[in-house]
Chains A and B, each alone.
Chain A
Amino acid sequence: MKYCALLLLCFCSTFCTVTAQDFEYNFQATEVKFSGAGSISIRHDSLATIYSTAHWRNTGLREPAGWSSGSTMMATANFEFKCAKAPDSITIRGLGNDTINLPAQTVKLNPATGVFTCTYPLVYASKKFPLGVVNYYAPFNIYWEISFDKGLSWYRSDTTDHKVYVTKSNPMTETTNFKYFHTVLELSCKNAIGQTTDTGIISKCWSEFTDQIVLNHKGDSLHYYKNYITSNTVLPLLLKYRTAQCYTFAQLFAALIKVQGISKTNNYVFITPKAVASPCGGTINRFLVKNWKFLAKSDSLGCPSFPYKNVGTTLTTSGYTYTSADVIDQTGIDGSCNKNPSSFFNNHQITKYDGVYYDACYGVKFNALTDIKTAAFDGWGVQLSPGTWNFTNDMSKADLAETITTW
């Protein structure tokens, strides 16, 4: 009896054709699923739902998989085997990156219409992801090989490709706004690949922000105020709508760290002007982030300490309009994917690690709170009547107050 084992094998990327003396057959992976202790249930950015349990299908499905370091991948796979005459069973193994292999398993071939099917059972890979090391596989390839003689000789058949993330430790527990979003895993593991220390991971994750270009896992821009009028203030909404306020970038940076299992307290800082009464009767509660141009003072008599007056300030989708203005917005400091983001605020949020303030919106960091007003602000504001704001460019008039929480 002639068995397919007698035939030679040739490669193809999706479906393998094996040529025989007088016939040929095909061997093709149809689905791969991962699991195992330490695996991470990754969520869609836009829906916040967990990806389906299949991670690869020959129909084009590609979904990410993640584990914490020190854990062992488990995988199962389904195959189709087209052959006029097939053996009762074949042996399958998968060779992965970094010699993380799926061991040989002899499986039964099941006849179906015009095809045989078989399932590589759910088994552990041959070794763990190295403990304490962040890793990022783009892709993690599994070269599937089959043997017709119980492993004496192997024929490379199909290859499946996977996006695999390995975090340093088990990610921190999910909360309302911190979830294992695809982009969080992507940015964290891609930047911190190879890192083994908390400080190294924080430093590398920060590098994602320093060029003011933050992209999601698909390569789409995450905008800091693409539209000046946005009420998106939590991480899930940044990832869903890709434009948001400052809070979300601070949360994104914190999330990149939390997903590595790094627990830091008092890392989230809300800054706002200290509620100091101005001599004009209002409370200083606005600041202008660079760059603003101060023109002639029109209210030196009415409010000498805040003599620059803007009347009828209206926020539009791409800037500010005024009925009259002594202070006008200029192209500002680059924010994420935006050369001229919104810059007239009551408050701002940043993160703080090991005494350093990280402003992820702008990709800059500060060693002290007092440095922020000097480096980034052009003025303070006070509202004296509805729609009317008075400003000063004397930065000594106020300071920032910080409120610290754990995110």
Chain B
Amino acid sequence: MIAQKIIHVSLILISILLGILDANAQLRIERKIIIDNGQYYFFTVDDETQLATLYTGGLDEKLIKAKKYPMPIGRELNDVFNPLSFDINDGKLIGINWILNSMNSRYEAIKKINIKDWLKPHPEWTIEDWAQVSFDQPILAPNEPWERMIEENNVLENCFFDIMQIEAKVMAICNQGKLRIWHSAGGKWVEKSTAIPVDFTSYFSLASVKSGTICLVDAQGNVYKVNDAQTAITKVKTSVNPKPQILIVDNDHFKTYTIAAETIEAATMDNLKGIIKLATEITF
């Protein structure tokens, strides 16, 4: 009897341990963590299905305790890595559904999703159902930035993009060293200026600071400020940690941080408040 109990307790401990390890192994956060209305949100993307899973929880809760919800959005598993492009504001998700699928239109890829609508399970849906549902999500606006880019040059090289929502929706897209920044107004995309020369060879993320200034943060955490006229970018901060970085975007306090992805992966037993202490705020 005692032996059975010992075995039982051991199995529970092993399960917990495996659960933690598994969570650590799986937790490859896409691009950024967003804090919005006292909750945090981030995504992972499955290596086979391309579909995203939303992780969310309270700021005092351990990351490992995050609630997980499949979301009708995802990204391709391309050799050229561009993480899921998304933003969350007031429970509204905007994102670029870049799942590679013969039925997914790149022109209709910019989606708007009400997160609350997707917090109930759909156990009857297959992976393919989820994919199809993602293609059918309503669009925020046609993907004119993509369309205009390939009209100008349809040969993609160092092509990366991201989207965010500050006062307006902003999309940045670059190809072959030309960066274009678009603003969405009334469902239409408007470009403030002509292309800005850049030399990105890996992905970047859009961010903003308190003043509303737009900046780009590259995969290594280097920060580039976009001038008000959006005619030039200037490197304003060189990363001290060249390892892949994640952004923490605190909508509640208008702050943005960078933190090494591996630091978060090692800190899943901590809560986000603790993790932020390990991060570096973007200021300039």
A residues lining the B interface (CB < 8 Å) = 175-178, 229-234, 237, 245-247, 266, 272, 275, 283, 285, 315, 342, 344-348, 386, 401-407
Contacts and interface: CB of A to CB of B under 8 A. Distances in A.
A282 to B, nearest CB: 10
Contacts, number: 78
Interface in B101-149: 101-108, 126-128, 131-132, 136, 142, 147
A404 B155 contact: yes
Contacts of A402: 154
B79 A275 contact: no
Nearest to A177: B79
A285 B105 CA distance: 7
A335 to B, nearest CB: 12
B50 interface: yes
Contacts of A232: 48
A272 B103 CA distance: 10
B80 interface: yes
B111 to A, nearest CB: 14
Contacts of B76: 233
Interface in B67-122: 76-81, 99-108
Given A246-B102, A247-B100, A231 B128 contact: yes
Interface string B154-173: 11110100000000000000
A272 B104 CA distance: 10
A130 B144 CA distance: 53
Highest count of chain B CB atoms <10 Å: which of A178, A285, A347: A347
Say whether chain B's binding surface is mostly helix, strand, loop, or mixed. Answer: loop
A346 B104 contact: yes
Contacts of B147: 275
A178 B128 contact: no
A229 B128 contact: yes
A326 to B, nearest CB: 20
Contacts of B236: none
A231 B76 CA distance: 11
Nearest to A266: B155
Interface string B13-55: 0000000000000000000000000000000000011100000
B156 A348 contact: no
B105 A177 contact: no
23 contacts: A176-B77, A176-B78, A176-B79, A177-B78, A229-B128, A231-B49, A231-B50, A231-B131, A233-B50, A233-B101, A234-B77, A247-B100, A272-B105, A272-B106, A283-B107, A285-B107, A315-B132, A346-B104, A346-B105, A347-B105, A347-B106, A402-B154, A404-B155
Contacts of A404: 154-156
A272 B79 CA distance: 21
Nearest to B48: A237
Nearest to A227: B128
B102 A178 contact: no
Contact of A348 (B102, B142, B159): B102
Given A231-B128, A231-B131, A237-B48, A401 B154 contact: yes
In the complex, the 8 A-B pairs of residues with the closest C-beta atoms, listed nearest first: A175-B79, A229-B128, A345-B102, A233-B100, A405-B156, A275-B107, A404-B155, A346-B105
B150 interface: yes
B200 to A, nearest CB: 16
Nearest to A284: B107
B125 to A, nearest CB: 12
B160 to A, nearest CB: 13
B122 to A, nearest CB: 16
B126 A229 contact: yes
Sorting the interface of chain B by its residue count into under 10, 10 to 19, 20 to 34 or 35 or more gives: 20 to 34
Instruction: Output the residue of A231, A275, A344, A402 with the most chain B CB within 10 A.
Output: A231
Contacts of A347: 102, 104-106
Nearest to B51: A231
B77 A177 contact: yes
A237 B78 CA distance: 13
Contacts of B142: 275, 283
Nearest to B102: A345
B196 to A, nearest CB: 22
Contacts of B159: 405
B80 A405 contact: yes
Contacts of A246: 102
A4 to B, nearest CB: 55
A283 B132 CA distance: 19
B40 to A, nearest CB: 28
Given A229-B126, A283-B107, A283-B142, A342 B102 contact: yes
Contacts of B106: 272, 347
Given A176-B78, A348-B102, 14 more contacts: A176-B81, A231-B99, A231-B127, A266-B155, A272-B105, A283-B108, A285-B108, A315-B132, A345-B102, A401-B150, A401-B154, A405-B80, A405-B157, A407-B79
Contacts of A275: 107, 142, 147
A245 B154 contact: no
B105 to A, nearest CB: 5
A346 B48 CA distance: 21
B101 A245 contact: yes
Contact of A346 (B49, B103, B126): B103
Contacts of B99: 231
B60 to A, nearest CB: 37
Nearest to A269: B154
A175 B77 CA distance: 11
Nearest to A315: B132
Nearest to A232: B48
A266 B132 CA distance: 30
Counting chain A CB atoms within 10 Å of each CB, the highest count among B78, B102, B105, B147 belongs to B102
A272 B132 CA distance: 18
A333 to B, nearest CB: 15
Contacts of B80: 405
A403 B102 contact: no
Nearest to A241: B48
A237 B50 CA distance: 12
